Structure 1
């Protein structure tokens, strides 16, 4: 409790997120706390904060390892959730999110109540021709959330609502089912942006002309 009092925290004897960060972020000679900002896609260690932490927390929430809302602080609950994920996926449970953990996160599908489209659904869906590009929450300048407030990850497409209404379910050959949950930018007419989990995946997709299918339950 002396540590909490000395650092301006409520001396309750509980090591919550605020105390945890104070313990990890040592003081510099000038008395200012060192920055622990984490950008999306960078290595994330306990005590860090920022958009990269929000991205990681959203993955863990989506996969059922973390409850509540993403607050951008990689505190004890988030560290424990990440360790549990690492343990379940054959990784060293060190509580540090590096390249191997990011790769594992992007491979696990999110929890969803949406049924996987049957072959009959795809065949009977309305076919439309689109010009498709790709994006990810790790791209510079890209928001972690869509225009409808959803966490941006694989399974979402950005559309022009006058061409494909928001909420529409589509099937994209070679990609799978997706939902039109984002809009904006230069996405006009038959242009769509397909969400991936990582910047490398988005870059590898590039720009393609595709025939996609509007699923009949949309």
Structure 2
């Protein structure tokens, strides 16, 4: 017998197979003498956060590439001086790019040099970073990404695991009751997802950015569960 039906809650797919051996995802497969129920359960959640990764675009124009780079370096030094007391850890500044601008109706040809400055800042210093970038020429605040606080990643993974197992057990019990069966035995757990939380971007607006309104980092966990119903 093979049955599929849509299930609400936690995006679960269901199949029933009678008297079937488990697939080789475990070292010691157990024989099910009743009906094998296979569930796919997914849970999602968010973590606490207390830091942000920010990115500031920096650009400078000049008649030549060398002059544009010289002005860009001067602006970088000013920005570094303003940000170093505020950030946690080191700043990251990749090598600059240069390209031509202007020409024709747009005016004389010039060269533009660009790069970015990124780092990590706590909630307490977020506004100071915004103001530092906003008051300097050639700066473009490109936004913040919320980062999970210490220990919250492991706590979220454990929470999602408990929720997924509870949901799987609930669905197995409902299915067993519908079939007139009394025993439910979990045979296999196969994790098919997870990993570290995904930082969520948050574009800050000067003078109105509230870090507590930022989307929290999110994560998901997917389990393939096999139950024997008898």
| TM-score category (smaller protein) | under 0.3
> Normalized per residue, which structure has more strand?
2
Question: Which of structures 1 and 2 has the bigger CA Rg?
Answer: 2
Q: TM-score of the superposition, structure 2-length normalised? A: 0.20
Q: TM-score of the superposition, structure 1-length normalised? A: 0.21
